[in-house]
Each structure stands twice: as structure tokens, then as C-alpha cells.
């Protein structure tokens, strides 16, 4: 190398380091948004009794607050993705997180039960679109072989929320009132708006349009991938929904230890997110199939492990590891959606909320039928089997008509 080339080489290395630093800052800003959303979604379950008492309704009735948020996710994701198709992604991210933050702050000031129901529905609407657009931004900054890991780093905010954010805000809600808990989530949302404003560069409008985005719905592989998420992941929620009662009535653990077990579940989600995104970058389709098989096995293990406190806690960590499928399915949707990236990416989170509702319902059916709290493990083993069947159809179509 000549003396003249040395400065150019040094400058190139500096540019690479600067690019990596900028990318890390963008991913951090987007992950903080995931942390805010994950905390706001899961923490409500922890202070539900306090919320019910304050609003003067029964606990099951107060549970409709959680359902309203989930419905907002399912409805809001496709509507926002289609109507905002032409917006620059930075502008869209800022708007989505601003709505989420203001929705939580307004929830803290809700005058009554019905107002809170409406506000939680509106607050949930940006959820899926935010994760979808954030995943697309992260993937666009990564090399072709690192897309799933980039998506996984964005999802890390969501998984860390289950370990840190949810227990902290739950404690706030139980000790200082649910209004302060919602206000805290709103404050993190506003912090995310500031971080996105500072870190994410301004971009021009996308080349997409509402009609282009709606084109995703004409693609069988998009529907099949969403079905894998909606059915195959339902088992995790079948267990998680009733884990508190299972741990106290079957495992014999005191109620005070339940948050520790749930934190272990969050650690499992974090581990699964890291490992799953790496596996997806190496071999995407085998990674999806492998996680579904894992879920089947862990569902069966849970049925027997639930009868002892230590084994139940270990099983919950392993159940959380099933989150490994999230970055893989998000990446799969990027492959099969062609030009309709925003809608497909946003719908992934709608599908996971469908999985939440489906798993909780079927788990409740099994318990009501008299099979016991631990029977949710059989539900958790059966749903991924159906997911594998749908996945098999998708893989067969790939062989007949390979993706471009």
C-alpha cells in the first residue's frame, strides 16, 4: 500500500465505525419503543385488581381493558399500514409512538371505565404498525445475511420489558396506583419520540401506496405465514394466561414468588429472541419448523413439570424461549410480501394477538372441562402441531413456486 493510500484506508475504517455507531443508535431508539410497548401491554395484567377496585367494576369486567388494547392492535395494524403507505418511515414512526405515548397519558387521566376502554383501544392501534415499520428500518440497515438479527435487536426491547419494565410498572400500579403506571409508560413513549427524532435520519416518501400494500393480501404465502403465527404461537399464551393460578394451585408456590417465575419467562423470551434470530439468518425455514417442534415438546413437558415449583419455574423459562419464532416469521414475511412490506410486517403482530386470544380461550376451555390447570400444556402442545401443518403447506408451495 502506498503512502497516499494509507489516509484513504484509515478514512474508510472511520466511516465503517461511524456507520456501525449510527446503526446502533437507530436500533437502540427503536428498541426503546419496543420496551415501552411491551411494558404497557403486559403490565396491565399485574395491577388489574387495583384498577377494578378504583373503577368500581369486577375483575373480569376490568379485563376488558386488556381485550380493548389487543383489539386495537388487530384493527389498527392493517388500517395504519395501508393509509400511511406513502409516508416516510421516520415520520410514520414518530407519529405512531406519539399516539402511543399520548394514549397512555390520557389513560392515566381517564374519568371512568368506558372512557378507559376507548383509550386503551386507541393506544393499541399503533402497536403492530410500529413494530412492523421499525423491523423494516432495522432490516434495511443490515447486510442481507443479518436481517433476522437486526429484527431481533428491535424485539429485544419487548423481551427486556417482560423482565424489567413489566415488574417495575406492575409494582408502581400496585403501590402507587394504576394511573401513575400508565403515566410512566407514556413518559417512556415520549422519550422514544425524542430518540427517534435524534437518531433516525429523515427519508423521502416511500414508493409504496395503499393499493400496493393491499396487494399483500392477494399472496397465499403471506396468509400462510400469518396463520403459522396465529395458530402455532397460541400455545405459549395458553400457558402464560393461567400461569399464576397454575403455580399457586398446582405447583404449590406462594403468590409472592409468581413475579420471579414470570421474570424467568421473560429471560427465556430474551434468550429465544437472540438464538432464534441467529438461526433464522442461517436457515430461515428450518428455524421456524424447529421452534414449532420445540413448542410441542415444551408443552408436553409443562404438563408434568407444573406439579413441582422448581420444575415449573424451569419450564416457564423454556416456554419463553418459544419467542424465538418472532424474528424468523417477521423475516419470512419480508421475503413473501414483495412490495407490500409495511402491511405484511404490521400484520405479523396482529397475528400474534390472535394467537394470544386463541391460546387463552382454548386454555380456558380445557380448564373449564375439568382437566385441571396444568392441562394448558396439552393445548400448548397441540396448537404448534397445527402450525406445523400450515407451515408444511407453505413449504410445499415454495418448492412448486420458489420465491424470487
Give the pLDDT confidence of 91-107 residue by residue, as tens digits. 999 999 999 999 999 99
**High-pLDDT (> 90) share of the chain, %:** 31
Cell of residue 98, nine digits: 406519539
Q: When comparing pLDDT for 55 and 106, which is higher?
A: 106
Check: pTM over 0.95? Answer yes or no.
no
Q: Give the pLDDT band of residue 11 (cuts 50, 70, 90).
A: very low
Q: Is the pLDDT of residue 287 over 60?
A: yes
Spans of all domains in the chain: 1-206, 211-404
Distance of CA 354 to the CA centre of its chain: 12
Q: Retrieve residue 9's grid coordinates.
A: 484506508
Return the pLDDT at 382. 94
pLDDT tens figures, 181-193: 899 999 999 999 9
* pLDDT above 80: residue 3: no
Q: Which of 126-130, 178-182, 213-217 has the lowest mean pLDDT?
A: 213-217
Q: 398 versus 12: which is more confidently predicted?
A: 398
CATH number of 211-404: 1.20.1250.20
Q: What is the pLDDT of residue 2?
A: 52
Check residue 213 and give its pLDDT. 65
pLDDT tens profile 223-269: 899 999 999 988 888 888 788 778 888 988 887 787 788 888 889 98
Q: Which residues, 6+ apart, have CB-to-CB distance to 2 below 8 Å? A: none
Q: Which three cell numbers stand for residue 307?
A: 406439579
- How much is the pLDDT for 16? 45
Per the listing, cell 421516520 goes with 90
Distance CA 54, CA 33 (A): 29
Q: At what angle do helices 325-336 and 113-140 cross, to 10 degrees?
A: 70
d(C-alpha 329, C-alpha 37), whole Å: 20
Confidence of residue 306 (pLDDT cuts 50, 70, 90): very high
pLDDT reported for residue 314? 95
Say which residue the cell 489516509 belongs to: 7
**pLDDT band at residue 208 under the 50/70/90 scheme:** low
Give mean pLDDT, residues 322-329. 89
Q: Which residues contact 280 (CB under 8 A, 6 or more apart)?
A: 148, 287, 288, 327, 328, 331
> What proportion of the chain, given as a percentage, has pLDDT over 70?
89
Q: Which of 208, 204, 188, 186 is nearest to 196 (CA)?
A: 188
Q: How far is CA 29 from CA 20, 69, 201, 241, in A?
A: 14, 23, 12, 30
Per the CB < 8 A criterion, the answer to whether 155 and 104 are in contact is no
Residue 206 is predicted with a pLDDT of 61
Q: State mean pLDDT over 37-45.
A: 80
CATH 3.90.79.10 fits 1-206, yes or no: no
Which stretch of 107-111, 117-121, 150-154, 372-376 has the lowest confidence by average pLDDT? 150-154
Measured in whole angstroms, the distance separating CA 233 from the mean position of its chain's CA atoms is 11
Q: What is the mean pLDDT of the chain?
A: 84
The pLDDT value recorded for residue 215 is 64
Are the CB atoms for 358 and 234 separated by under 8 Å? yes
Amino acid at each position: 500500500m502506498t503512502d497516499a493510500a494509507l489516509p484513504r484506508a484509515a478514512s474508510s475504517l472511520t466511516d465503517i465505525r461511524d456507520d456501525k455507531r449510527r446503526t446502533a443508535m437507530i436500533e437502540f431508539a427503536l428498541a426503546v419503543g419496543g420496551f415501552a410497548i411491551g411494558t404497557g401491554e403486559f403490565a396491565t395484567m399485574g395491577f388489574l385488581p387495583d384498577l377494578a377496585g378504583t373503577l368500581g367494576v369486577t375483575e373480569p369486567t376490568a379485563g376488558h381493558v386488556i381485550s380493548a388494547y389487543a383489539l386495537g392492535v388487530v384493527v389498527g395494524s392493517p388500517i395504519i399500514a395501508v393509509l400511511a403507505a406513502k409516508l416516510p418511515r421516520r415520520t410514520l414512526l414518530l407519529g405512531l409512538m406519539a399516539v402511543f405515548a399520548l394514549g397512555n397519558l390520557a389513560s392515566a387521566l381517564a374519568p371512568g371505565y368506558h372512557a378507559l376502554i376507548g383509550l386503551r383501544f386507541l393506544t393499541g392501534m399503533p402497536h403492530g404498525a410500529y413494530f412492523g415499520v421499525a423491523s423494516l428500518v432495522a432490516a434495511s440497515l443490515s447486510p442481507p445475511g443479518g436481517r433476522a438479527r437486526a429484527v431481533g435487536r428491535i424485539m429485544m426491547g419487548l423481551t427486556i420489558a417482560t423482565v424489567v419494565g413489566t415488574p417495575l410498572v406492575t409494582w408502581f400500579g400496585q403501590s402507587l396506583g394504576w394511573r401513575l403506571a400508565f403515566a410512566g409508560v407514556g413518559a417512556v413513549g415520549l422519550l422514544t419520540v425524542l430518540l427517534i427524532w435524534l437518531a433516525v435520519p429523515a427519508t423521502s416518501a416511500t414508493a409504496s401506496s395503499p393499493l400496493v400494500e393491499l396487494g399483500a393480501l392477494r399472496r397465499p404465502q403471506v396468509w400462510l405465514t400469518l396463520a403459522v403465527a396465529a395458530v402455532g404461537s397460541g400455545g405459549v399464551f395458553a400457558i402464560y394466561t393461567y400461569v399464576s393460578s397454575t403455580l399457586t394451585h398446582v405447583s404449590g408456590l406462594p403468590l409472592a414468588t409468581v413475579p420471579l417465575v414470570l421474570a424467568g419467562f421473560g429471560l427465556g423470551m430474551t434468550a429465544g429472541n437472540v438464538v432464534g434470530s441467529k438461526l433464522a439468518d442461517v436457515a430461515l425455514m428450518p428455524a421456524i419448523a424447529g421452534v414449532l417442534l420445540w413448542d410441542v415438546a415444551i408443552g408436553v413437558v409443562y404438563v408434568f413439570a407444573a406439579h413441582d415449583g422448581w420444575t415449573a419455574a424451569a419450564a416457564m423459562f423454556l416456554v419463553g424461549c418459544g419467542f424465538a419464532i418472532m424474528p424468523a416469521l417477521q423475516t419470512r414475511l419480508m421475503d413473501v410480501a414483495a412490495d407490500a412490506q409495511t402491511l405484511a410486517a404490521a400484520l405479523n403482530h396482529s397475528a400474534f394477538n390472535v394467537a394470544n386470544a386463541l391460546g387463552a380461550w382454548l386454555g380456558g376451555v380445557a380448564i373449564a372441562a375439568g382437566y385441571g390447570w396444568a392441562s394448558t400444556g396439552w393445548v400448548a402442545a397441540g396448537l404448534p402441531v397445527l402450525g406445523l401443518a400450515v407451515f408444511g403447506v407453505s413449504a410445499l408451495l415454495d418448492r412448486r413456486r420458489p420465491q424470487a
